[in-house]
C-alpha cells in the first residue's frame, strides 16, 4: 500500500481527469480531450475506464467491476484486484451495494440510483469515424451539429441487411445536442442510458472522456419507418427464468444444444437466491 | 426593328504579327417590321459577317447594332441571350444540336425556352415538321443521323417554331426540292405578314425576288471595294 | 433582377505568386458560365475561392440566399457557409472519388445530403435515390452497390446525382469531364445540359476543354496568369476572340 498514492494515480493527474469529467458533465455527450497516462495494463484492457475510476474513487466507496455483465472474468477480476491493492476500497459483486461500477460492454439490469456512478470503458469514442476518418473534420461536424452522416451509416445497415443491423455501440443523441457512442453496449441497454446515476466514459488510447449526467435525455438514432428497437434473444434465462434481461447464448455440445443465460451474473444469482428457476437450472447445479 | 448605324468590323490577328484586317466599314441599314431585306454581294464581301454581327456572334468594332431597341454591340451577354430567346431568330445553314435529343424536341426547344406549355410547343413542332415533309417515324430520332436535306428542314422548322419579331436567314432554300422550297417561302411570307423584320442571304434568285422587298449590296461596306 | 452570385474583386495570392486577381462578374439565375484557361491560369483557384474551399485575400462573393437575400459568403459564419454548400450549392469534383464516399452504397451517397438536412424516412430517402439514379442513367438495380464497382463515367454521374438531389441553385464544376473517354464525356455533357435546363440551375464550369463550354455555357471567361483576359457570350468569344491569348487558345484546338 505504501508504494502507491491512493488509487494509483498521482493527485495532479486525478485533478486533471476530474476537470475533464466535470467539463464532460457540463456538456453532456461532448468528448473532452485529456492527457491519458500509461497504466500498468495494455490499451484495450480498460485503461480509460481505470483512470476515470481512479479519479472518481474515494476511500469510502464500494467498487464493482463487470466485463460483458460478468464479475468473474479475467478483465473484471484484474481491475477489481488492482483497486483493492492500490486504493484499498471495498469491492463487491452486488450492483445494489456498489457506489462506483466500472463496466465493459454492459449496463447492469438492476436500476441504478442517484448515489451511484457507472464508468464505461470505451475503445473508440468517435461515433462518426466509421464514415469520416479525419478527426479535424469530425470535431467540426460535432461543433456544427452536422450529423447527417450518422444516418448514412444506419441507411447502409438497412439497405444491406434489411434492418438496422447495428447491434452494439448504437449511436445516441444526448440532450438534443451531441451524438455519442455509448461504448459497445448492446443496443438492448440503450434505453437504460436515461438513468438516475452519473455515467462517465473513458477512452484511454484515444484520450477522451465524456459523460451523461443523471436524468439526461438520450435518444437512439433511427428512421421514422425503421424505429429503434432494443432487441434481445427471444427466450427466458435458462438459469433464473428472467424474461427481461439481456442474454448470452452458450453452446452446450456439438449436437446443437444451447442455453441462454443472463449476461448480468449478479442479477441472475440474486434472482436464483430468491427462488426463481429456469429451464436448465437443476442440471447446472448438478 | 433592325438598325445598323456606322458599324465597322475588324479582325486583329494577334498571333500573326498583330495584323489588323478591316472587313466592314460604316455599315448602315434599317429593316422595318414586315420587311424582308436581302444581302447581296460577291462571295467574301461580308454577307455572313454582317449577319453574325447582327446576331452578336461577332463583336462590332464600332457603331450601333440595334435590334428591338437593344444595342447588341454594347449589351451584356444575358441581354443578348434574352434577345436571341425572345426577339431575334437565326436560321443558319447548319444544324448544330446535342446528340440524342429527339427531332420533335429539337424543334420545340425555342418555344420551351420562352416558357411555352410543353404540349402546345410539341404540337406546333409537329405541325412544322409535317409541313416540311419530315416523315413522322423520324420525329423521335435525333436529327444527327439525318441526310443533309432533312437536317436543313429540321433546322428551318426549329427557326420558325417561335414567331420571332426579327429573323436572320442564311440560305434558307439551299438544297431543297421544289415542294419544300415552296413551303419555306410561304413560311417567310407568313412571317412577314405577321410583322417580322427579316434579313437574309439568298443565292436562289427566284426566291429572293419573290420574298424580298429590297436588296442591300454589302460590297458598299467592304473596305477598298466601295465605289 | 438580382444576380444570383456577385463576385467582386476576388484576389488570392500564394506568397508573392498570384493565384487569381481582380476577378469580378455577376451571374444571373439560370446562367451557365464557363471559365477556361491553361493549367496554372488561376481558374481552379478562383472556383475554390467562390465555393468557399479557399479563403480569398480580397474581394466578395455575394450570394442571393433564399432567406436573407444577398449575403457575402466570404465573411459569413462557417456554419452558414457549410449549410449553403449542403443545400443551395453543389460542387462537382473532377475526380469522382473526391466527391463520393467510396465505402458507402450509391443510394447512401445520394441520400447523404437529404439526411444532412433532416430527412428521416428511409423509404422516402431511398425512393429519391432511386429516382436520381434513373435521372443520371444508372441502372436502378445498382442502388446498393458501392461506387468502387462503378466505371469512371458512372461514378461521375453518381457524383452529380448526389449533388443535385437537394435541388441546389448554383453548381460549381471543376473539369467535370476530365479523365473520361470521349464517348463517355459526350453522354455526361448531354446529361448535364438536360439537368441544367430542366432544373433552371446556374452553374460555373471550370474546364480547359472548349467543346465543353461551347455545349454547356452561355457565357465564357478566359483566364491567363490569374487575370481574366476576355469575357463574353460563349459563341462570340470562341468565334470572334479579341485577346491574343484567346485567339491562340481557339486556334490551338484540333479540328476533327
Catalytic residue among A24, A46, A48, A262: A262
Q: How far is B68 from chain C (nearest CA, A)?
A: 19
Residue B63 included in any domain: yes
Most C CBs within 10 Å, among B13, B77, B121, to test the C interface: B77
C-chain residue closest to B54, CA distance: C236
Confidence class of residue B227 from pLDDT cuts 50, 70 and 90? Answer: very low
The yes-or-no verdict on residue A114 having pLDDT over 80 is yes
Sheet holding B166-170, edge to edge: B88-91, B166-170, B197-201, B36-40, B214-217
Low-confidence ranges of chain C (pLDDT < 50): none
Q: 218-247 in A: which are within 8 Å (CB) of C?
A: 222-226
Q: How far is C88 from chain B (nearest CA, A)?
A: 22
Active site residue A44: no
CB atoms within 10 A of CB A164: 24
Residue B64 included in any domain: yes
With beta carbons under 8 A apart, name residues in chain C contacting B101. 190
Active site residue A29: yes
Burial C114-139 (b: 16+ CB within 10 A, else e): bbbeebbebeebbebbbebbebbebe
Express as a percent the part of chain A with pLDDT over 70: 98
With beta carbons under 8 A apart, name residues in chain B contacting C215. 98
User: How much is the pLDDT for B44?
Assistant: 84
The yes-or-no verdict on residue A285 having pLDDT over 60 is no
Active site residue A275: no
Chains sharing 3 or more CB pairs under 8 A with chain B: C
Q: Give kind and range of the element (H or E) at residue C206.
A: strand C202-207
User: How much is the pLDDT for A2?
Assistant: 57
Q: Is A124 near chain C, with CB under 8 Å?
A: no
Catalytic residue among A24, A29, A48, A49: A29
Active site residue A49: no
With beta carbons under 8 A apart, name residues in chain B contacting C239. 52, 57-58
User: How much is the pLDDT for B225?
Assistant: 54
Residue B175 included in any domain: yes
User: How much is the pLDDT for C255?
Assistant: 63
Q: In angstroms, rounded to a whole number, what is the distance separating the alpha carbons of residues B80 and C247? A: 22
Least confident of B206-210, B222-226, C89-93, C187-191: B222-226
Per the structure block, which three cell numbers stand in for A198? Answer: 452519473
Q: What is the mean pLDDT of residues A72-87?
A: 94
Active site residue A148: no
Q: Do B99 and C190 touch (CB under 8 A)?
A: yes
The whole-chain average pLDDT of chain B stands at 91
Q: Is B179 near chain C, with CB under 8 Å?
A: no
Q: Do C232 and B77 touch (CB under 8 A)?
A: yes
In Å, what is the CA distance from C86 to each residue of C115, C170, C197? 10, 11, 21
In tens, the pLDDT along B114-146 reads 888 999 999 999 999 999 999 999 999 989 889
The yes-or-no verdict on residue B160 having pLDDT over 70 is yes
Q: What is the mean pLDDT of residues A260-280?
A: 93
- B225 burial via Cβ count (<10 Å: 0-12, 13-18, 19+): middle
Residue B227 included in any domain: no
Q: Is B77 near chain C, with CB under 8 Å?
A: yes
Q: Do C240 and B57 touch (CB under 8 A)?
A: yes
Q: 136-155 in A: which are within 8 Å (CB) of C?
A: 144, 146, 148-149, 151-152, 155
User: How much is the pLDDT for A286?
Assistant: 39
Least confident of B30-39, B58-67, C195-204: C195-204
In tens, the pLDDT along B173-198 reads 888 899 999 999 999 999 999 999 99
User: How much is the pLDDT for A176?
Assistant: 96
User: How much is the pLDDT for C119?
Assistant: 94
Q: How far is C219 from chain B (nearest CA, A)?
A: 7
Taking alpha carbons only, the member of C28, C238, C196 closest to residue B81 is C28
In Å, what is the CA distance from A234 to each residue of A229, A261, A264, B91? 13, 12, 17, 76
User: How much is the pLDDT for C253?
Assistant: 77
Q: What is the CATH number of the domain that holds B88?
A: 3.40.50.300
The yes-or-no verdict on residue A152 having pLDDT over 60 is yes
Residue B42 included in any domain: yes
Q: Which of B15, B80, B99 sits opposite C233 (nearest CB)?
A: B80
Residue B6 included in any domain: yes
Name A183's Cβ contacts closer than 8 Å, sequence gap at least 6: A105, A120, A121, A122, A123, A169, A201
Chains sharing 3 or more CB pairs under 8 A with chain A: C
Most B CBs within 10 Å, among C137, C236, C246, to test the B interface: C236
Most A CBs within 10 Å, among C76, C85, C122, to test the A interface: C122
With beta carbons under 8 A apart, name residues in chain B contacting C29. none
Residue B9 included in any domain: yes
Say yes or no: ipTM exceeds 0.90.
no
- B68 burial via Cβ count (<10 Å: 0-12, 13-18, 19+): middle
- C70 burial via Cβ count (<10 Å: 0-12, 13-18, 19+): middle
Q: Do C239 and B57 touch (CB under 8 A)?
A: yes
Phi, psi of B7 (to 5 degrees): -85, 130
Residue B226 included in any domain: no
Least confident of A213-217, B64-68, B173-177: B173-177
User: How much is the pLDDT for A283?
Assistant: 52
With beta carbons under 8 A apart, name residues in chain A contacting C113. 148
With contact defined as beta carbons under 8 Å apart, do C158 and C145 qualify? no
Q: In angstroms, rounded to a whole number, what is the distance separating the alpha carbons of residues B220 and B29? A: 11
Q: How many domains does chain B divide into?
A: 1
Q: In angstroms, rounded to a whole number, what is the distance separating the alpha carbons of residues C192 and C217? A: 11
In tens, the pLDDT along B74-117 reads 999 999 999 999 999 999 888 777 777 889 999 999 998 888 89
With beta carbons under 8 A apart, name residues in chain A contacting C79. 144
With beta carbons under 8 A apart, name residues in chain C contacting B60. none
- Host domain of residue B143: 2-221
The yes-or-no reply on C/B contact (3 CB pairs or more, < 8 Å) is yes
User: How much is the pLDDT for C128?
Assistant: 96
Amino acid at each position: 500500500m505504501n508504494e502507491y498514492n491512493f488509487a494509483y494515480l498521482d493527485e495532479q493527474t486525478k485533478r486533471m481527469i476530474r476537470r475533464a469529467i466535470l467539463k464532460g458533465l457540463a456538456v453532456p455527450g461532448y468528448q473532452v480531450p485529456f492527457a491519458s497516462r500509461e497504466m500498468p495494463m495494455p490499451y484495450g484492457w480498460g485503461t480509460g475506464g481505470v483512470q476515470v475510476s481512479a479519479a472518481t474513487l474515494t476511500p469510502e466507496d464500494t467498487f464493482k467491476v463487470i466485463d460483458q455483465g460478468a464479475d468473474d472474468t479475467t478483465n473484471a477480476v484484474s481491475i477489481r484486484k488492482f483497486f483493492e491493492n492500490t486504493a484499498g476500497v471495498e469491492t463487491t459483486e452486488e450492483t445494489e451495494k456498489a457506489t462506483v461500477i466500472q463496466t465493459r460492454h454492459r449496463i447492469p439490469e438492476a436500476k441504478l440510483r442517484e448515489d451511484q456512478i457507472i464508468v464505461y470503458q470505451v475503445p473508440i469514442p468517435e461515433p462518426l469515424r466509421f464514415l469520416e476518418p479525419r478527426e479535424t473534420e469530425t470535431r467540426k461536424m460535432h461543433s456544427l451539429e452536422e450529423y447527417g452522416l450518422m444516418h448514412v451509416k444506419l441507411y447502409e445497415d438497412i439497405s444491406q441487411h434489411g434492418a438496422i443491423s447495428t447491434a452494439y455501440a448504437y449511436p445516441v443523441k444526448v440532450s438534443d445536442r451531441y451524438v455519442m457512442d455509448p461504448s459497445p453496449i448492446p443496443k438492448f441497454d440503450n434505453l437504460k442510458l436515461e438513468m438516475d446515476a452519473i455515467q462517465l466514459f473513458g477512452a484511454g488510447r484515444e484520450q477522451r472522456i465524456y459523460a451523461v449526467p443523471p436524468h439526461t435525455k438520450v435518444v437512439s438514432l433511427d428512421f421514422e419507418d425503421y424505429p429503434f428497437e432494443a432487441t434481445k434473444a427471444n427466450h427466458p434465462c435458462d438459469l433464473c427464468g428472467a424474461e427481461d434481461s439481456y442474454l448470452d447464448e452458450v453452446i452446450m455440445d456439438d449436437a446443437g444444444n444451447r442455453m441462454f443465460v443472463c449476461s448480468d451474473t449478479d442479477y441472475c444469482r440474486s434472482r436464483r437466491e430468491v427462488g426463481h428457476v429456469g429451464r436448465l437450472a437443476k442440471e447446472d447445479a448438478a | 426593328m433592325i438598325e445598323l448605324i456606322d458599324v465597322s468590323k475588324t479582325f486583329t490577328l494577334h498571333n500573326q504579327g498583330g495584323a489588323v484586317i478591316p472587313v466592314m466599314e460604316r455599315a448602315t441599314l434599317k429593316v422595318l417590321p414586315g420587311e424582308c431585306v436581302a444581302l447581296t454581294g460577291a462571295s467574301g464581301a461580308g454577307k455572313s459577317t454582317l449577319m453574325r454581327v447582327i446576331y452578336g456572334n461577332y463583336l462590332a468594332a464600332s457603331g450601333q447594332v440595334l435590334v428591338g431597341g437593344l444595342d447588341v454591340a454594347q449589351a451584356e451577354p444575358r441581354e443578348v441571350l434574352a434577345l436571341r430567346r425572345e426577339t431575334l431568330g437565326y436560321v443558319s445553314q447548319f444544324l448544330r444540336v446535342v446528340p440524342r435529343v429527339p427531332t420533335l424536341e429539337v424543334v420545340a426547344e425555342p418555344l420551351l425556352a420562352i416558357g411555352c406549355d410543353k404540349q402546345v410547343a410539341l404540337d406546333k413542332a409537329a405541325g412544322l415538321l409535317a409541313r416540311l415533309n419530315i416523315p413522322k417515324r423520324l420525329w423521335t430520332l435525333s436529327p444527327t443521323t439525318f441526310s443533309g436535306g432533312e437536317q436543313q428542314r429540321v433546322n428551318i422548322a426549329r427557326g420558325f417554331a417561335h414567331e420571332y419579331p426579327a429573323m436572320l436567314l442564311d440560305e434558307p432554300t439551299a438544297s431543297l426540292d421544289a415542294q419544300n422550297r415552296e413551303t419555306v417561302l410561304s413560311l417567310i411570307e407568313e412571317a412577314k405578314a405577321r410583322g417580322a423584320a427579316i434579313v437574309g442571304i439568298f443565292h436562289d434568285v427566284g426566291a429572293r425576288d419573290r420574298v424580298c422587298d429590297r436588296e442591300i449590296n454589302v460590297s458598299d461596306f467592304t473596305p477598298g471595294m466601295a465605289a | 433582377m438580382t444576380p444570383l452570385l456577385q463576385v467582386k474583386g476576388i484576389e488570392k495570392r500564394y506568397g508573392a505568386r498570384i493565384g487569381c486577381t481582380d476577378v469580378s462578374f455577376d451571374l444571373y439565375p439560370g446562367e451557365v458560365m464557363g471559365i477556361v484557361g491553361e493549367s496554372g491560369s488561376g481558374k481552379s483557384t478562383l472556383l475554390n475561392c467562390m465555393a468557399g474551399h479557399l479563403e480569398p485575400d480580397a474581394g466578395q462573393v455575394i450570394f442571393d440566399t433564399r432567406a436573407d437575400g444577398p449575403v457575402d459568403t466570404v465573411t459569413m459564419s462557417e456554419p452558414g457557409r457549410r449549410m449553403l454548400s449542403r443545400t443551395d450549392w453543389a460542387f462537382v469534383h473532377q475526380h469522382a472519388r473526391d466527391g463520393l464516399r467510396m465505402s458507402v452504397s450509391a443510394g447512401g451517397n445520394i441520400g447523404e445530403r437529404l439526411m444532412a438536412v433532416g430527412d428521416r424516412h428511409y423509404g422516402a430517402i431511398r425512393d429519391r435515390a432511386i429516382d436520381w439514379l434513373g435521372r443520371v442513367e444508372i441502372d436502378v438495380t445498382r442502388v446498393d452497390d458501392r461506387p468502387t464497382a462503378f466505371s469512371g463515367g458512372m461514378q461521375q454521374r453518381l457524383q452529380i446525382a448526389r449533388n443535385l438531389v437537394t435541388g441546389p441553385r448554383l453548381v460549381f464544376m471543376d473539369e467535370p469531364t476530365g479523365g473520361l473517354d470521349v464517348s463517355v464525356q459526350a453522354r455526361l455533357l448531354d446529361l448535364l445540359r438536360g439537368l441544367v435546363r430542366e432544373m433552371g440551375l446556374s452553374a460555373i464550369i471550370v474546364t480547359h476543354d472548349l467543346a465543353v463550354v461551347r455545349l454547356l455555357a452561355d457565357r465564357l471567361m478566359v483566364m491567363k496568369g490569374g487575370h481574366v483576359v476576355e469575357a463574353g457570350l460563349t459563341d462570340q468569344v470562341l468565334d470572334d476572340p479579341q485577346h491574343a491569348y484567346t485567339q491562340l487558345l481557339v486556334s490551338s484546338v484540333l479540328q476533327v
